[in-house]
Amino acid sequence: ATLWMWCVEIVEGCRLPVLRKNQENEDEWPLAEILSVKDTLGRKLYYVHYVDFNKRLDEWVTPDRLDIKKLQFPKKEAKTPTKNGLPGSRPSSPDRDVVREATLDTVTCKYMTLRICFVICSLNSTRHQDSQDSSDGIPSAPRMTGSLVSDRSHDDIVTRMKNIDCIELGRHRLKPWYFSPYPQELTSLPVLYLCEFCLKYLKSLKCLQRHLTKCNLRHPPGNEIYRKGTISFFEIDGRKNKTYSQNLCLLAKCFLDHKTLYYDTDPFLFYVMTEYDSKGFHIVGYFSKEKESTEDYNVACILTLPPYQRRGYGKLLIEFSYELSKVEGKTGTPEKPLSDLGLLSYRSYWSQTILEILMELKSDNGERPQITINEISEITSVKKEDVISTLQYLNLINYYKGQYILTLSEDIVEGHERAMQKRHLRIDPKCLHFTPKDWSKRGKW
C-alpha cells in the first residue's frame, strides 16, 4: 500500500476505508471521505470524514491508515469540496454515489484524465451554485433570530473542518468537535488556553499565567440565580456582557455543529451552570435562550462540556431550562435542529419527566387515572408537540375501544425506575431565584 501511495494522488473528495478504533478499541475500516490534504514536514496528512459518522469524529490521519486499494475517486457529478472554501462544495452525504472503484491498474493510467474531469466537475458545480444563488436574489445572511444556522454553512469547507486542535480549560483538556471562529492566528497552536472563569483565549501558558494575575473572576460574570449544593446557575446578559458571552459562544461552538456565531449575542441570555470548589465556580455547561422568542423556544443552544458529559449534567441543564419556563408560565421547546446528543438528551428528559407524572397519577374514586396532553404540557412546560412525540417514541399511545389511551408497559416502568435511580442530580425549584423580565417592553434586547 505504501508503494502505491506515491503513485496515486489522493485528492479531496476521494473515498476510501480508513482505519479507526471503535469504542471497544477494535480496529474498524469505515468508509471515509478525504476533505483536505496537508503536507507537514514532508509527510502528508489527510483530513477524513467517516461517512455515516458524525463530523465530530473527523480527524487528520496518516497515510498508513488509508486503505488505498479501495480508493474511490469523486463521482463526476458530485459537488466536490474545493480548496478555496467556496460554498460550491457540498459535504458528502451518506447516500452519495460512487462512480468507480479505482483498481490498481486503472489508477495509474487514468489518473490524469480523472484529475481533469475532477477539475471540470468542480467548475461546473461552482457555476451551478452561482446560478442558484442568483435565483435566490439576496445573498443569504442567516436569519436574525435564534442561534442555530441553516445548513448552508455546511457547504463551507472551512467550517466543515475542525480548526482547533486542543483547548485547555481549567484542569481539563478538550478536543474540539467542530469548527469555531477563534482568531485565525490561534488555530495553528497545539493548545489553545482558556481562562477557566472569563473564558478568554490565550496563545500560551505564559500568557494564561499573566492573565490570571489580572483576572479576578472566580465565577461567570453574571447573577447567580440558582444554587443548590455545589451547583449554581448564573444568568448572563448577552448585551451587557459581550466579552464573556462571545467567549462562551466560541467555546460552545467547538462542540455544537449547528450553532452559528454569525450575529452578536445581544438578544440572548446565557445560563451557565457551574460546580463550585475552592478554586471557584467552574463552568460545567450552559444554555442560551432568546430574550424574546417568537417560536416558543426556551433554549437556543445547550451544551455540557465534554469532561462533564454523561453524568447527568445535561439533563440538569434541560430541567433548569424548563424550570425557568415554568416560572415564566410558558411552555417551551429547544431550538431546532437538535444534534444527535441533543435529541437523545431531550428524549430522555421528556420521557422521564412524562413518565414521572404518569406514574404518580393516582386514581380517584377507583376510576382509572387520566390526563390530557395539555395538562402534561402545562405541568412540565414541555411543549405539546414534544409531549406527543415523546409519548409516541415511548409507544405509550394506543387506540383502544374508540379512544386513545396511554399504556404503561412493564418494561417501560422498570426502565424508568432504573433510570430515575441513577438520576440524582435534580433541580430544586425552591433554590431558584429568578424573576422573568419582559424584554418586549425594553424595546431592545
Partner 1 sequence: MSKLSFRARALDAAKPLPIYRNGDIPDLNDCVSINRAVPQMPTGMEKEEELEHHLQRAICAQQVFREKKESMVIPVPEAEGNINYYDRLYKGDFRQPKQLIHIQPFGLDSEQPDYDMDSEDETLLNRLNRKMELKPLQFEIMVDRLEKASANQLVTLQEAKLLLNEDDYLLKSVYDYWVRKRKNCRGPSLIPQVKQEKRDGSTNNDAYVAFRRRTEKMQTRKNRKNDEASYEKMLKLRREFSRTVTILEMIKKREKSKRELLHLTLEVVEKRYQLGDFSGDVLSEVSVPLAEKTVYPAPICLPNGNRHKTENKIKSHKSVPKHHPHNVTVKVEPHFDFVRPHKKYTRRPKLETLRPPSRPERPHTVNNADIKQYDFHSSGEEDYLLSPSSEPDEENDPDGAFVFRRRVGCSYLAPLSEQSSSSPVGLAGTNAMWQRNALTALSVPRRCVGVARRRLGRGGRLLLDRSSADLDRALRHLDPGAFCPFVAPSDAFPLNTDTHMDTCTNAHDPAPFRTHPQRSLAQLLTDIQACRWRYFQTRSLHQNQKEESGKKALQEDDRRGGGPIVTSSSRNAVLGGVQCSSSMTGCSLIVENKLVFRNTASLDTVSKTLDSASAQFAASAVVSTSNKESKSHSPAVNGILPNSGSRQTKFSSSGSSSARLSGASSKPLPAVPQSLPHGHGPLSSVSAVSPAHTHHNSARPCAPSPPALKLATIASSLDRVPKVTPASAIDSIGRDKHEPERLALNGIAETTVAMEVT
DSSP 73: P
Piece in contact with partner 1 (CB under 8 A), picked from 2-10, 106-114, 323-331, 416-424: 416-424
Shortest Å distance, C-beta 98 to partner 1: 17
63 versus 181: smaller Cβ distance to partner 1: 181
Using the rule CB under 8 A, which residue among 3, 109, 112, 144 binds partner 1?
Answer: 144
Using the rule CB under 8 A, which residue among 128, 336, 426, 437 binds partner 1?
Answer: 336
The verdict on 442 binding partner 1 (CB under 8 A) reads: no
Question: Cα–Cα distance between 254 and 155 in angstroms, integer?
Answer: 18
Q: Which residues contact 269 (CB under 8 A, 6 or more apart)?
A: 235, 236, 237, 238, 288, 289, 290, 291
Site for partner 1 in 304-333 (CB under 8 A): 306-307, 309-310
The verdict on 279 binding partner 1 (CB under 8 A) reads: yes
Catalytic site includes residue 335: yes
Question: Cα–Cα distance between 169 and 244 in angstroms, integer?
Answer: 15
123 versus 344: smaller Cβ distance to partner 1: 344
Site for partner 1 in 153-182 (CB under 8 A): 153, 156, 158-159, 166, 168, 170-177, 179, 181-182
Site for partner 1 in 24-43 (CB under 8 A): 24
Element (H, E) at 410: helix 410-422
What are the beta bridge partners of residue 271? 235, 287
Catalytic residue among 101, 168, 335, 356: 335
| Closest of 49, 273, 20 to residue 178, by C-alpha | 49
Piece in contact with partner 1 (CB under 8 A), picked from 4-12, 36-44, 302-310, 324-332: 302-310
Residue labelled with grid coordinates 468537535: 177
Site for partner 1 in 54-83 (CB under 8 A): 54, 56-57, 59
Question: Cα–Cα distance between 313 and 375 in angstroms, integer?
Answer: 27
201 versus 270: smaller Cβ distance to partner 1: 201
- Per-position DSSP letters for 163-203, written without gaps between them: ----EEETTEEE---S-----GGGTTSS-EEE-TTT--EES
Piece in contact with partner 1 (CB under 8 A), picked from 105-113, 115-123, 323-331, 399-407: 399-407
70 versus 239: smaller Cβ distance to partner 1: 239
The verdict on 52 binding partner 1 (CB under 8 A) reads: yes
Q: Which residues contact 1 (CB under 8 A, 6 or more apart)?
A: 64, 66, 67, 68, 69
Shortest Å distance, C-beta 83 to partner 1: 14
Torsion angles phi and psi, residue 223, rounded to 5: -90, 135
105 versus 185: smaller Cβ distance to partner 1: 185
The verdict on 137 binding partner 1 (CB under 8 A) reads: no
Using the rule CB under 8 A, which residue among 76, 219, 228, 330 binds partner 1?
Answer: 219
Shortest Å distance, C-beta 315 to partner 1: 12
| Closest of 251, 240, 110 to residue 180, by C-alpha | 251
Shortest Å distance, C-beta 240 to partner 1: 6
The verdict on 379 binding partner 1 (CB under 8 A) reads: no
Q: Are the C-beta atoms of 237 and 269 separated by less than 8 Å? A: yes
8 versus 419: smaller Cβ distance to partner 1: 419
8 versus 261: smaller Cβ distance to partner 1: 261
Using the rule CB under 8 A, which residue among 8, 19, 117, 207 binds partner 1?
Answer: 207
Please count the other Cβ atoms lying within 10 Å of the Cβ belonging to residue 360.
8
Using the rule CB under 8 A, which residue among 211, 296, 312, 330 binds partner 1?
Answer: 211
Long-range CB pairs of 169-174 (<8 Å, 24+ gap) are: 169/194, 169/196, 169/199, 169/251, 169/283, 169/305, 170/196, 170/279, 170/282, 170/283, 172/305, 172/306, 172/307, 174/254, 174/255, 174/305, 174/306, 174/307
Using the rule CB under 8 A, which residue among 29, 98, 384, 425 binds partner 1?
Answer: 384
127 versus 279: smaller Cβ distance to partner 1: 279
End-to-end CA separation in angstroms for the chain: 59
Please count the other Cβ atoms lying within 10 Å of the Cβ belonging to residue 274.
24
Site for partner 1 in 237-266 (CB under 8 A): 240-242, 244, 246, 249-250, 258, 261-266
Site for partner 1 in 95-134 (CB under 8 A): none
Q: How far is CA 269 from CA 78, 242, 252, 308, 380, in A?
A: 41, 11, 14, 22, 21
Site for partner 1 in 347-366 (CB under 8 A): 347-348, 358, 361
Residues involved in catalysis? 335
